[in-house]
Amino acid sequence: AQTVTQSQPEMSVQEAETVTLSCTYDTSESDYYLFWYKQPPSRQMILVIRQEAYKQQNATENRFSVNFQKAAKSFSLKISDSQLGDAAMYFCAYTGETSGSRLTFGEGTQLTVNP
């Protein structure tokens, strides 16, 4: 079975600084996808970024980028120029060949942005 681990329950960053959230996963599948979701106080899960395992290039979405290390099974999220609105719970998630679109989530990292 696939597992996703986020080892940082809480992180904090100063506004305008950069922060990196860690995620590791375990799988024996060769075709899979990784996601970062953001859950602000409104509780809606919002997709931040996704990465296809077969792509070597790291995904980027504006201030959000990932460092995908396939051999190490690591998928970290970097937030540049942090803004107050980035404060939220961030979840790393996985889907693969056997799970289809069903997401396996990590435990989450609560990010605080300090003004």
Q: What angle is formed at CA 47 by the lines to CA 44 and CA 49, rounded to 5 degrees?
A: 155
Task: Indicate which single residue of 36, 90, 108, 111 sits in contact with another protein (rule: CB under 8 A).
Answer: 108
Task: Indicate which single residue of 8, 24, 58, 105 sits in contact with another protein (rule: CB under 8 A).
Answer: 105
What is the distance in angstroms between the CA of the first residue and the CA of the last residue of the chain?
41
CB of 115 to another protein, least distance (A): 26
Q: Which is nearer to another protein, 80 or 104 (CB)?
A: 104
Please answer whether residues 59 and 53 qualify as being in contact, where contact means their C-beta atoms are separated by less than 8 angstroms: no
Question: Using CB under 8 A as the criterion, what x/- string covers residues 12-41 for binding another protein?
Answer: -------------------xxx-x-x----
Task: Indicate which single residue of 10, 55, 107, 114 sits in contact with another protein (rule: CB under 8 A).
Answer: 107
Report residue 86: phi and psi, to 5°.
-80, -10
Question: How distant, in Å, are the alpha carbons of 22, 25, 113, 115 from that of 10?
Answer: 11, 19, 11, 17
Question: Using CB under 8 A as the criterion, what x/- string covers residues 37-66 for binding another protein?
Answer: x----xxxxxx--x-x--------------
